Amino acid sequence: MPGTEHGSRTVEHGVARTALMVAAARAIETHRSDSLARDDYAEHFVRAAGTCEGWPLRPHEVPAGDADPLWGRLGRYFGLRTRVLDDFVLRTARAGARQAVLLGAGLDTRAFRLDWPPDCVVFELDQDPVLRFKQDVLDGLRPVPRARRIPIATDLRGDWKTPLCAAGFDPTAASVWLAEGLMLYLPSDAERRLIDVVARLGVRGSSIAFEVKLGSERPEVRSSAVYSAAKQRIGVDLLTLFDAEPRPDSAGYLASTGWVTRVTTPFDFTRRFGRGPEPETDDALASNRWIFATKR
């Protein structure tokens, strides 16, 4: 794949590396007999990155299976999250929102793998190095998008509204917004600004889904196997990458500006689908909340 050797270095460290971790989890989920989500492109991103050699991409390559804290439990979390957000995006699009905005799109391939209604456009916002690496890999695969896809290189900590609108986003039309795994890494002020922009650009019929962590985690949780395995085995130090500032009440703010919000836990969906992570003692997933909001 031309350019991927150089481009892979841009996703080898920091928050960008978490995109590769999620891609590997999606590849494993794709090949499970009880798969909740399918992403046939995910494994190609991992293979193209120079420092991911040896990462599992199939269920049989995870010897401990679901008991493995990284590729089992956390991997199933990412698979469940992918399915829930896939359903959310398509449900909103089929209800009339023809614009999808993926905030912190990373290695997301929803523009290619979801069955979009006609005339949908998918805006993918992320930093330029991540989008360039992603495009290098996609160029080698030559997939056909199922919606009009518009990548936008920008920093979500700054002014991303201007390039989004310049790329063709229509602030008078309904939209669906997705911030999958993004808020955990943003400074609190950047999260406030992001939610404020969405609140102002989202007209009636628009929806947003995003993920947050509630409060600070106890030392027993911070030493959990999920965090230690990610750090020791693949060099992803989630506890360092998570922004440590007190988090804003984004769900409350949306509710105050005319959005109907619903706060859920991942375990709500584990029960719904009968698959996914279950609660455990000193759980690194216990404080995670998935928030869904719709502008009425």
Taking only the tens place, the pLDDT of each residue in 56-102 is 999 999 999 999 999 999 999 999 999 999 999 999 999 999 999 99
Is pLDDT of 228 > 80?
yes
Q: Burial-class residue 205 by CB neighbours within 10 Å (0-12, 13-18, 19+).
A: middle
Is pLDDT of 6 > 50?
no
Strand order in the sheet with 207-213: 148-153, 121-126, 99-103, 175-179, 207-213, 288-295, 259-264
What's residue 197's pLDDT?
98
What's residue 5's pLDDT?
47
CATH 3.40.50.150 corresponds to the domain 4-295: yes
What's residue 81's pLDDT?
98
Is pLDDT of 10 > 70?
no
* Cβ atoms of residues 166 and 141 within 8 Å: no
The DSSP 8-state label assigned to residue 72 in this structure reads: I
Q: What pTM was estimated for this model as a whole?
A: 0.95
What's residue 11's pLDDT?
73
What mean pLDDT, rounded, does the chain reach?
95
Is pLDDT of 129 > 70?
yes
| All structural domains of the chain with their residue ranges | 4-295
What's residue 12's pLDDT?
65
What residues have CB less than 8 Å from 206, skipping those under 6 apart? 92, 97, 174, 175, 176, 177, 294, 295
- Tell me how far apart the alpha carbons of residues 6 and 17 are, in angstroms, rounded to a whole number: 15
What's residue 13's pLDDT?
73
Collapse the DSSP code of 293 into the 3-class scheme (helix H, G, I; strand E, B; otherwise coil) and give the result: strand
What's residue 263's pLDDT?
98
Percent of the chain surpassing pLDDT 70: 96
What's residue 2's pLDDT?
41
Is pLDDT of 184 > 70?
yes
> Phi/psi of residue 191, each to 5°?
-65, -45
Is pLDDT of 203 > 50?
yes
pLDDT confidence of 216, banded at 50, 70, 90?
confident
Instruction: Give how far the C-alpha of residue 45 lies from the chain's centroid of Cα atoms, to the nearest Å.
Output: 15
243-271 tens-digit pLDDT: 999 999 999 999 999 999 999 999 999 99
